[in-house]
Structure 1
Amino acid sequence: MEYRTLGNTDLQLSAITYGAFAIGGNMWGGNEKQDSIASVKASIDNGVTTIDTAPFYGFGLSEELIGEAIKGYDRSRIQLLTKFGLVWDGSNQGKGDYFFDAEEDGKKIPIYKYASKSNVIKEAEESLKRLGTDYIDLLQIHWPDSTTPIHETMEALEQLIQQGKVRAAGVSNYSLAQVQEARQTIHIASNQVAYSMLNRSIEKDLVPYATDNQLGIIAYSPMERGLLTGKYFQDNKLKDNDHRNGYFQQFNLEKVQAFLDAITPMAKDKNASLSQLVLRWTTLQPGISVVLTGARNAEQAVQNARTMDIQLSDGELGFIEQELARL
């Protein structure tokens, strides 16, 4: 495994970082508790020491599973990254930005983006309890909240850092302008954003800024929620409550399948899966600090960790770029 310094901090994160959205179950067709816990343990045992989660993932369940999974490990060897700012329990009393309706047990649950100072402090305390720890390595706002001044949210993060409950502050899904505004209050370490072979929009402005200003970029959805594994084209049956039924329709699926067919021989030549090849490409892109990838069981976790064993030459990277240009 390769470990990388995040932005302007002393945090050393594993280049492949465990993304814990799916083990929360909601929007992913459910989960299996023991498999989820085993996937976290297998990740740590194979060098993936950084775990990224959020209260929204399973309405607290993802954080609870992680807290259970890391018991018995040396906490100093593990980096816990979590978030705040998506409220589903009505505690925001109607304040904040309405986001969307999630579903749980057939019921619609309104989700709001809400990042007032009091809510940041409240959510941080709840996350610490669920994770079973006394500090969070990186605490990030999950989505921008237009109803709360950015400086107010950042002041709350600064307070938590001063109290020793948080080691570093980050943002997620922030535009470059929002990053720059946040940095007027606190020197945030990172921005967690969507980035993949099919979505490279951050290369226009965020990546150049990040490389020039010690800002880490945490890339999420590098596999486009499983589309780039190729499995969808082999058996495209998803559960009715799986959000990917709609998500995948934004892409030209015929072209995506052709691209995957083109790079499959390279993956086979390296005795790697398509997933591993795609992830390795992502870790090698300029400005990308670490790459998030999920695992539903121990086997998937081990395969994710072994991604960093793959070597890609300049010629091979050039071939991939050539094929991506056809999309």
Structure 2
Amino acid sequence: MEQRTVGRSGLRVSRIGLATHTWGAHTDGDGAAVQLAAFAEAGGTLVDTSHAYAGGAAQAILGELLDAVVPREELVLSGCAGVLAPLEPPLDGLPPRPPTPDASRRTLLRQLDRTLAALGTDHLDIWNVGVWDPGTPLDEVAATLDAALSSGRVRYAGVRGYTAWQLASLAAIAPISVAQTPYSLLARGAETDVVPAAAHHGVGLIASAALAGGILTGKYRDGVPADSRGADEATAAEIRHRLDERATRVVEALVTAADGLGTSPLAVALAWIRDRPGIASMIVGARDIGQLTGVMAAETLELPRAIAAALDDVSARTE
């Protein structure tokens, strides 16, 4: 798998990253081990984790697999911090609180230490501030990143889900190397502001939600599969809201392109985002090894310019 340099840093990551958000929820430890082994064997290095995934179960599974399945030093581990409750247990006798942004020094460093302990490692290769917190001074966030980097517990600092002005504001005073942002054929808003802001500050971009919740795989062309996110009560509203006329046009274009190239719509969608300016990698998850094999097929797919241009046109917003 090809390795790319992230922004103007010296960090190199595989241009497909392995998401672990299904681990501990839809993927058990054995299935996760198979995924990680296959990903590493194919040359994949970037592995995305969070204390939020499956209530911490994903990190626990990953921690058991490091060195046992793949040597820790062969992977680029990316984690995050910055959200409180219900990701952390409520005090005894109190009801769970809603998720709360908290990028204070106290919370960020506490969650970093918990992540390191769960993974059984002494450092994260990428550590992201996972939320914009208007209640914490930006100088404090920057100082916290400096402290984590200086201590050796973090190799490169980043952010997740920041808008362009938020990214630019922090990058102006902190050594930000990475920004993870939603980006797909159905979510191209980042091109307007986040992509140029990242380029200006030398920040490398990692695309998340590159398959738009599975819509770009074509699985919803003939209805909502029973085992899909569209059928899951927790995510159904979000998926169904995005199944509009534009999504239909994009998916049909992907199907046509895939038929002509002898591959899948999923692979075409990922190859398109992989080749966008400024993208260092994209984080993609899979429930099982079959899905992961389909994802990794995008690595060797080269999109003809005419097809890439057609996808640009059909996915462009006109309003």
Root mean square deviation, CA, Å: 2.3
Q: Is the 8 A contact 1:43 1:298 kept in 2?
A: no
Query: Which region of structure 1 is more displaced relative to structure 2, 317-326 or 117-126?
Result: 317-326
User: Between Structure 1 and Structure 2, how many residues are aligned?
Assistant: 311
Aligned to 1:51: 47
Tell me, yes or no, if structure 1 residue 126 matches structure 2 residue 107. no
User: For 1:23, what is the secondary structure of its paired residue?
Assistant: coil
Aligned to 1:21: 21
Q: Is the 8 A contact 2:7 2:199 kept in 1?
A: no
Match of 1:113 among 88, 101, 122: 101
Q: Residue type matched to 1:20 in 2? A: T
Alignment of 1:47-196 (within 5 A): 47-72=43-68, 73-88=70-85, 110-196=98-184
Tell me, yes or no, if structure 1 residue 279 matches structure 2 residue 275. no
Residues of 1 paired with 2:83 and 2:62: CA distance?
19
Residues of 1 paired with 2:86 and 2:194: CA distance?
33
Q: Is the 8 A contact 2:52 2:87 kept in 1?
A: no
Q: Is the 8 A contact 1:39 1:299 kept in 2?
A: no
1:235-270 Cα shifts (integer Å, max 9, x gaps): 514466443311123324344233322331321232
Q: What is the deviation of 1:89?
A: 5.4
Alignment of 1:247-326 (within 5 A): 247-325=238-316
Q: Is the 8 A contact 1:49 1:77 kept in 2?
A: yes
Residues of 1 paired with 2:12 and 2:61: CA distance?
23
User: For 1:64, what is the secondary structure of its paired residue?
Assistant: helix
Q: Is the 8 A contact 1:35 1:297 kept in 2?
A: yes
Q: Is the 8 A contact 2:48 2:78 kept in 1?
A: yes
Q: What is the deviation of 1:317?
A: 1.0
Residues of 1 paired with 2:315 and 2:165: CA distance?
29
Say if 1:179 and 1:65 are closer, same or farther in 2 by CA, change over 3 A: same
Q: What is the deviation of 1:62?
A: 1.3
Match of 1:215 among 203, 206, 218: 203
Q: What is the deviation of 1:88?
A: 1.9
Q: Is the 8 A contact 2:22 2:287 kept in 1?
A: yes
**Percentage identity across paired residues of the two chains:** 25
Query: Which region of structure 1 is more displaced relative to structure 2, 312-321 or 114-123?
Result: 312-321
Structure 2 length normalisation: TM-score? 0.90
Say if 1:32 and 1:24 are closer, same or farther in 2 by CA, change over 3 A: closer
Query: Which region of structure 1 is more displaced relative to structure 2, 245-254 or 225-234?
Result: 245-254
User: For 1:231, what is the secondary structure of its paired residue?
Assistant: coil
Aligned to 1:228: 216
Q: What is the deviation of 1:145?
A: 1.1
Residues of 1 paired with 2:293 and 2:185: CA distance?
23
Aligned to 1:33: 29
Residues of 2 paired with 1:157 and 1:326: CA distance?
37
Q: Which has the higher contact order (CA 8 A, sep 6+)?
A: 1
User: For 1:139, what is the secondary structure of its paired residue?
Assistant: strand
Residues of 2 paired with 1:298 and 1:221: CA distance?
19
Residues of 2 paired with 1:76 and 1:269: CA distance?
40
User: Structure 2 unaligned runs (5+)?
Assistant: none
Q: What is the deviation of 1:91?
A: 6.5
Query: Which region of structure 1 is more displaced relative to structure 2, 54-63 or 163-172?
Result: 54-63
Say if 1:24 and 1:88 are closer, same or farther in 2 by CA, change over 3 A: farther
Residues of 2 paired with 1:190 and 1:88: CA distance?
26
